[in-house]
Structure 1
Amino acid sequence: MPKYNNPRKTWEYSKEFKVRAVKMSYQPDLQSKQVAEGLGIHPFMLSRWRKEYREGLLQGDGKKQVGLSKKRKVKTPKQMSENVQLKKEIERLKKENDLFKKVATVSGGSSSERFGFIHRYKKEFAIAALCRWLGVSRSGYYAWADREPSQRERSDQTLLKDITQVFDKSSGRYGSPRVHKTLARQGVQVSRKRVARLMRDNGLKARVTLVTRRQPGLKRFKNRGENKLLQFGGTIACDQIWVADVTYIKLSHQWTYLATIMDRHSRRILGWSLSHTRTTELTLAALNYAIRKGRHTEGVILHTDRGVEFTASDFQSALSKAGIEHSVNRPGYCTDNAYMESFYHSLKGELIRNQLFNGIDHLRREMGRYINQFYNRVRLHSGIEYYSPIEYERMAA
């Protein structure tokens, strides 16, 4: 068996804590389950403490044996005052219990880690109590707090400035993977985990969010069409597979619709269109945008969902004229078009969420800047080895 020099300690609740929890559970206006949830302990644990208290095994308050009942009695002024104090105490104990769980994560760590924990929570709890819980001396903590920053700490501060500069330059859109890749391109040699730690400790969190997207009703799906990508496999060059989709964007109190077309190989957005209505004209505008770029279209497979804006005769005629083959999702398999879903996730997290737009024209301008100037030209894409789409196309040419 391996020998553990610093095994993790399991926190043990004090008798005072147990007795107070038991007394709270016997209050007529409190249920045992509520007390357990408030203190962050399992109801079975509280039930065991109550049994030990009744049998005299738990004597934190000096009692040997008690016979408590849940029957309602007229409370004396003294009892009412005690109940008010107990209700206040439950909040304090809950806060302490939450801290105890955090203490367990650093109790087996180095002295420096424990001193750092004390430094973070010294405004909430007494330093003496924190030192006692973590098994360190107060003099040791004060000596640690007064010493000069170590070389590692000074290095972290210098690195944090570089990280913050990259983070701000991306308007808060880059998380630790893209910040790490950007620093590597600038010649800064640092591990990804260190970048993630510094960003986490300093509240640098990328603008991401869960995307809410309304799906067309299954009854509107048509039986015609097939998913041609199942037999095609992966891409080895640009202009082999394009993918397209439409998403909803809430603008004030009105929905707007964004249609986009992407080259699946390079992840470049080839065409997009924004409108107040979700019609065939919307998707046709995005398709014509892509075709006008002069890219090779003969034999390209365009994969979409089964929405009527893609299966309409006008849209199908435009595809045939350009020599583009149409592929559609399997019924009930929205993940067949995961590449576009991934783009919309990034778009809404990095541009739309928590932003105010003064009408659709303002949104269209910002959309153009994001897609044409940032996403296609600058943004590092994890799916193409952290290159931008245009840069990746240039390398693949």
Structure 2
Amino acid sequence: MNHKYTESEKQTIIDRYSSGESVSKISTDAEIPRSTLYAWIKQYQEEQESGKKAITAQSYRLLENKIKRLEGIIEILQAVECTVNDPLEIKLCQLETLCGQYSVHMLCEALNVPRGTFYNHIIRNKRDHTWYAKRREEFRIKIQQVYDDSNQIFGAAKIAAIIKNEGCRISVEMVRELMQDMGLVSIRQEAKDMYDKEKRRHKNYLNQQFNTRKPNQVWVSDITYFRYNNKNYYICAILNLYARTIVGYKVGKANSTQLVKSTFKASFESRNPDEDLIFHTDR
């Protein structure tokens, strides 16, 4: 008489195989033909394979961010001297001591405090809170040092990462807020913003055609700037596309048409190019 096995019985037999028992032993003990047992095992393995979820780069990043968030919450819970069940005022005072070292979202999530309530607490107390002011001043010094060491290139994210590597907890949001308050801007970002504004205003006649047949056929120029003693200085340079050499440059205190004109005039008088010269200045 053929016995019809339930799914539960099949799973029990497959579990015996998965735990290391041989097919022959299971077949003998359970009085099941080997062919049937192999069919069950194959079906189980196929179901397992089809049920596996592919890990994409996006899901990996989400999982990585989740782990970092949970690690941060654990650090916060270990640092504070209260629990989630303590009164709100106690939790607010404890979170305030960690403000700037972790994001507000993470702080509030750790002790189950509404973000709006925490912001109101900080705004209400920070004017008279000497510890808070002292902490921000320490951050200002560190930010200024890293900013100057990078020749004013690094932005908020990079500066925050460097300060964290030095053992000090600070969020990117806090660095960005203090940099704005201090008037610090990454030169690369500001130069890009200036370029994008100019690009929208003028038509590009050169249109990326940088190959020339003879010297002084096409000159191109651009302006960039640098800071010295808390002041901006602008430098205009003119390049001969044929030889890829600088034919002239000037430094000025303002990014003006006059700076470009004077640089071009001096270069033209020193080189005396042909009349068919094309001069391209930042589009």
TM-score by length of 1: 0.23
Larger-gyration structure (1/2): 2
TM-score by length of 2: 0.29
More helix by share: 2
